[in-house]
Amino acid sequence: MQIEQGNYTLEQLCQEVIDHTESAFEQYHVKHLKFYFYIADEDWNPNFPDRYETQDYGEMTKVSAGYTNRFGAEDRADFFIGPYGDESEIITILTAETQEAIDQALLPMLGRRDDISLMPIMLEDFQRMNELVLEHNDIRITEFKSERVPDLAEADIRPSVQRSIEYKGRDGKEAIEELRSGYGVVPVRIQYEHQNLSLKIDSRGKFTLKKMNSENFDLLFELVEEVIENVLELKDITQEIRFTEEEVESGNLSITVPKVEAGEITFDREFTRVLAEDFVEGTRNRDRVDFSFTDVTMQAGSLDFSAQVVDENRNSFFNISATADEMRIVPETNCSFPSLIEFYFCVLQLVDGSAELDLHNSQTAS
């Protein structure tokens, strides 16, 4: 986007886009503004590799990087990054670039950082966001993507089948409910249209505005406010799940003792061997998630499932062990909170949309 350099907060930058839409989008064929929300470490700072150019815009930072466009030519993409209001632990990224540019120049770089995680929206929160939008009179759902989440919706048709359904049509509001009752799928991405509104929301923390007016921006930030409390609570829990080392005095000796603070996911439905197998396979095939499982053991009957999990993007390691009722998460030395957040989000989407993550009792590693 073409924004005159100056000192901006996020709110002021958005107002600049509203006031000068034509000049801001002058170089773009489509006037769509994409927002990505991230959870960040408290000491996060916008330092980027050498291939990225940065410019100071007050609380916001303009970041530019090269990429190869669809015609095979070298091009540049611009992004604005900064805190979400007073919430320094929530980072907002604005861009008008194509998904092609975003996938090359932005998401891979952020996906490798261990101090920042794409902000997932819990599926129950996402359903509440949908209800909030639909309170606006005469708003239409024209496009959505729904996925099978067994504990959030009963299926009349082949309930054991995992499925994903994408739908386009003016009757999207009715179709969401029909597909939910018939196939047990719940929305994870929704496009809304109204006279003054055009907004797409995604449970992966991405929002797209297609009309640049105050009503659209106000609705976007109203939806974000709806989920921030739960998001920050999740971040606090995952940052407590860690591997540390303590110095212990024993006589004249000083001994380094490993200490593990484990996490625990409690299931609302039975975690079976079939679900465990589907979960391992499903995490391998999800967009922008690259978990690998090693040392996998599974026993049916009274389920006994364990594995080492590796976040290949961040080189982050942790171990899991699960029964039918719960899954224990035991971090290793270089386990990062973004890896745990994304892993938990996979559990919610693939296994149990009502599963809860909390801390297990502290323990000393043997």
pLDDT at 363: 44
- Cα–Cα distance for residue pair 180/172, rounded to 1 Å: 12
Q: Which pLDDT does position 326 carry in this prediction? A: 94
Segment 136-149, tens digit of pLDDT: 888 999 999 999 88
| Residue carrying the six token digits 């359903």 | 127
Give the Cα separation of 285 and 342 in Å (integer): 14
The pTM of the full predicted model, rounded to 2 decimals, is: 0.88
The terminus-to-terminus CA distance of the chain in angstroms comes to 54
Mean pLDDT on 101-128: 90
**Residue 285: band (very low, low, confident or very high) from pLDDT cuts 50, 70, 90:** low
Q: List the domains of the chain with CATH numbers.
A: 10-118 (3.30.70), 123-234 (no CATH), 241-359 (3.30.160.110)
Average pLDDT over residues 241-245: 85
Residue 345 has φ and ψ, to the nearest 5°, of -65, -35
Give me the pLDDT at residue 253, please: 79
- Express the helix, strand and coil content of the chain in percent, nearest 5 each: 30, 35, 35
**Structure confidence by residue, pLDDT tens digits, 162-178:** 889 999 999 999 999 99
Q: Please report the pLDDT score of residue 102 as a whole number.
A: 93
Average pLDDT, the chain: 89
- Average pLDDT for 297-305: 79
